[in-house]
Amino acid sequence: MHHLILMLTLLMIVIPHPVNAEWKASTNLQADASSNTNIETPVTGQVIQGSVVIRGNTNTDGFQKYEVDFSYSEDPTHTWYLIQESNLPVQNGVLAVWDTTTITDGEYSLRLLVSLTDGNEMEVMIDGLRVRNYSAVETGTPAPFPPYFTLVPGRPIIFTTPGSTPTSTLTPEPPTPTSLPTNPAEISSSQMIFSLGQGVAYSVGIFAILGAYLGLHAILRNRK
């Protein structure tokens, strides 16, 4: 009998007990109306790119610490990867910054897990977040909302807001060079050839006159 009681006691200690989660938000419900814990952005179904600022609230009674994690939606193991954790409550502010350039494009889930001083946990999940850093964004979907942007040579900067279509800034066209007016003092090649021909003709004429003068002078000198 004593052995049976001892075995039952050991089984009760060894068998794991599930964590008592106070509440869990569904896909369409980001926060419980009675709680101050929520994720404001990003929202379900949103396309995200680059470094994404995750905003929300963790300022609730009995707050101890919080962590923000992400998981691949199609991962059967439902493994969560830590983005950021803190023991400071946040009131309508930045919970974490998620660099999505380090992961492959696809659908992801986001989780805010708040630990309370009484041992309970509060969990908020945002599903259907679509990371599109290296692939095209599907038409008819919510536009990406990058809180930070990266300057890429040759590409315009894109600013978007949730639920709107991205609008790009106009890229200035390179200025067209304007032809300069003709310089009146510039000498063309034809004018240069004509001037050179005139100079040669004048030189030949001068030498001819000088030769005739010298010949006539020699003849007159011989007659004397």
Give the range among 56-70, 86-100, 157-171 with minimum mean pLDDT. Answer: 157-171
The pLDDT value given to residue 158: 40
The pLDDT value given to residue 167: 46
Give yes or no for residue 84 having a pLDDT over 90. Answer: yes
Look at 35 and 2; give whichever has higher pLDDT: 35
Q: What is the mean pLDDT of residues 81-102?
A: 95
Give yes or no for residue 75 having a pLDDT over 80. Answer: yes
The pLDDT value given to residue 140: 62
The pLDDT value given to residue 54: 96
Look at 197 and 84; give whichever has higher pLDDT: 84
The pLDDT value given to residue 183: 52
Question: 110: closest CA among 138, 90, 136, 80?
Answer: 80
Choices 3.40.228.10, 3.40.190.10, 3.30.1460.30, 2.60.40.10: CATH for 19-159: 2.60.40.10
Cα-atom radius of gyration of the chain, to the nearest Å? 44
Give yes or no for residue 153 having a pLDDT over 80. Answer: no
Give the SS3 label for residue 92: coil
Look at 137 and 222; give whichever has higher pLDDT: 137
Give the range among 41-45, 109-113, 202-206 with minimum mean pLDDT. Answer: 202-206
What are the residue ranges spanned by the domains of the chain? Answer: 19-159
pLDDT confidence bin for 145, thresholds 50/70/90 = very low
pLDDT confidence bin for 35, thresholds 50/70/90 = low
Q: What is the mean pLDDT of residues 146-155?
A: 38
Average pLDDT of the chain, as a whole number:
73
Give yes or no for residue 22 having a pLDDT over 90. Answer: no
The pLDDT value given to residue 8: 47
